[in-house]
Structure 1
Amino acid sequence: MPRLAALLLALAAACAPAGASPSLARPPKERARGPPSALSAAGSGSSAKAASWDEVNLLAHAVLQLGHGLKEHVDRAGGQVRDLRARLAAHEAALARLESSADGAQQQQQQQRPPPARAPRRRDEPEEPEAGAGSPGGPAAGNASRGAPADLAALQNLVGLQNSKIEELFQKVKQQQYRMDKQNLQIKSLQSKVNMMLPLYAKGNEMEKNPKQKMDVRWSPDSAANRSHGAGSTLPEAPRFPLGCHQLFLDGSPSNGVVRIRPPGAQPFDVLCDATPGGGGWTVIQKRQDGSVDFDQLWEAYKTGFGNMSGDFWLGLEKTHQIMRDGRFHLLIELQDWEGNAQTVQFLFSLGGEETAYTLSLLGPILGELENAMGDFPQLPFSTRDRDHDLKGDANCAKHLSGGWWFSTCGHVNLNGRYFRSIPRQRHDRKQGIFWKTWRGRYYPLRSTVMKIRPVELGQGA
């Protein structure tokens, strides 16, 4: 606007000389000398004409500048008006939404509000006509106002029923999954038993084909009860089996490899004997070296045993108890990590029967470079995820970790955990592995473990 005012003042100044009278346009001295001559009049006329053309050019230029300024001002004002209109439309839309939501909430409150009680009609008051179906307060309006909350409540009940059915189906699927996992473990246990029985079946068929084959067997101390009563009896004598790997070692016989033994009062079964140089007679009751066997088994599998003695296997709690019946034994544990380092742990213990949940009783201190990871509990019952006997009341250690073990509280030692061929990245997986906490920690899965037993008397004599 200041620029426009300046242009208007310039235009007025330019137009003022053109409209003035000749007498006013002349200077005062010329009026005093009288009328000019013809030559002076002609010169002054040409100069006045030239001055008028300059003024016209100046005026045209000023008008052009004025037009440009007015156009810019109009364009800028139009943009501002459009912006104001857009903002006004947005505010109107937001206001309409707020009004609609407020009206809806008010209608819902009115529908949920009980109708006001009518005052009793006086005798002299005329009776009001009943509202018809088409009137605003008639039955149709009342039914419509009561119908919406009823439909909403029905839909909510239907959704609640559907959610309860879905939750029930989810629980059933979870139970079925648990049963399938249990059956899968039972199948694996039966498969392990079949694998252990196949060599015996093949050996029996070979003996049937060669009945005259001489058997190299050992005699047990109770062999007199199995001998024939008469020297002239022709009945074939039953094969004799050693009491265990310790007897073969004491007799000086080779005691390395799979051998069939017969502990007192038990049926014959195979064991893996270890004739370690410098002191043999060990019976291997557990071996983990390649992860070929799943050790996440149930109670019955840990009781009878599973796996293959040429690879990973668990001898069985009942067989171990029969070997150790009423005796004290050394337990030697050999550990190895993935860097090739090895450690050994040894201690005295005894093992109870199934009526005690095969309780392991520590009878002496832990020998070796590693600290005790079995806990400060002298007696530890065996636990699996379907027979929870651990000493941690608020958790199932076998289910929380993996496999079966003599758990005190979760997280100290578990040599029957999951086998990892490399260290997993997830911490939840690492704690389910094979670990001895006082050596590499509970989150380092070990590469191999071996558990061996032999009688205390043998260890003292050796």
Structure 2
Amino acid sequence: MKIIPVLLFLAPLALPAAADKDFFSVGSAASPETKSRFALLDDVRILANGLLQLGHGLKDFVHKTKGQMNDIFQKLYIFDRSFYELSLQASEIKEEEEQLRQTTARLQINNEEIKNLSQEMNLKIEDLIQNKIQLQEQVWGLEDKVTKLAIFQPPVQETKEISSLKAFVEQQDNDIKQLLRIVEDQHVQLDRQHNQIMELEDKLNHIELRELLENSFLGEQQEAEPIPSAVHRPTADCSPGSAADCTALYHTGVQASGVYTIQPNGSEAFNVYCEMKFGTSWTVIQKRVDGSLDFNQTWDAYTNGFGDLNEEFWLGLKKIYSITQQGNYVLRIELQDWRGNRRHIEYSFSLGGPSTNFTLQLARTSGSIPNALPEHARLRFSIGDTELFTLPRLTCPRFSSGGWWHSECEETNLNGNYVTPRSRGRLDRGKGLYWKPKKGRYYLLKSTKIMIHPTDLKSFD
């Protein structure tokens, strides 16, 4: 801005210089001093013209700079507004998280109370079952008496005793039905409370993850560091026929559930059913849905596998062993009862080879149902077909069907006979597909699915 006064000062000097030049050009020849003065005025005029041009250039530059500054101020305003909105959203998320935490705490307290009530109810149920057995024996005895009365007693006495006995039996039956309804209501409430707690835990996990991402986003803006572009990990170079398992197949771009061919390290290729879920793929090793396949098979059948991979099947102990020898795997069991309730449980596990009778060791990691399989115990696979099997015959009656990793006389066998509930919702204990925790109720199952998934993906790179 200081250049403008200088220009105004030099402009008058330039005008007289031009007038003097015209005057002396018309007049006589000037003296040397006059010529020197004219040369200086010419230099001043040239300098003034240059300064005028420089002033115009600086004026244009100032206008452009003002426009750029206005754009920068506008962007800063938008950034401040976005930052303010993000801060409001973060505050709302924190409030919602705190409310969810409080609700979760209350539900956990309620769950503990209901769990205690459930344990008490289970004890009462056991007593009721014993009482029911005793009552049934009494009823059988009374039926015998009624039969004898019908034969030997006079008609009048017969009618009175039969009526009293019928009334007694009906009263006992009604009491048992009422208690069973109460127990059923308690189990429904427990299932509902457990589902609510699982949903709230999932919500809390999603909120914490979203909060972490927003905090990292704000931190990157404040530090004004460039954001590196995402690095895409190259997929493994394998075709469906050479994939080690379903998870390796998934990383080649196959994302539809179905039957595929895999070839574990050091094994022949064979077909498996791959189930795509949870953002990855699981290798299914057992599936039961409707009881259409008889699982009362021989040792060779359980070793090599049987069934239809699109329906009910058992993959085979040798194939399962060849897959699990490639790294660490997790075992997931999905269950559905006859009321439509779905549960799952996951284990870290190890599986021995044929020389150990495919010994299984388990350690529970997560799940939505109590554990019913022994942990950290060496469970050898056994079946009822002992003529082809070297282990001694197990004495538990429910082991007479299907093959399983048995331990003593526990209630769980997912390869047992497939049965449906009897009329009026009664269940045959000791028969069918059961999931029976040591402490807890029986789960008579409608469908089961056992899957495996690697925990160390580096083995397939």
TM-score range, shorter chain: 0.3 to 0.5
More helix by share: 2
In terms of Rg, which structure is larger? Answer: 1
- Give TM-score, length-normalised by structure 1: 0.43
* TM-score, normalising length: structure 2: 0.44
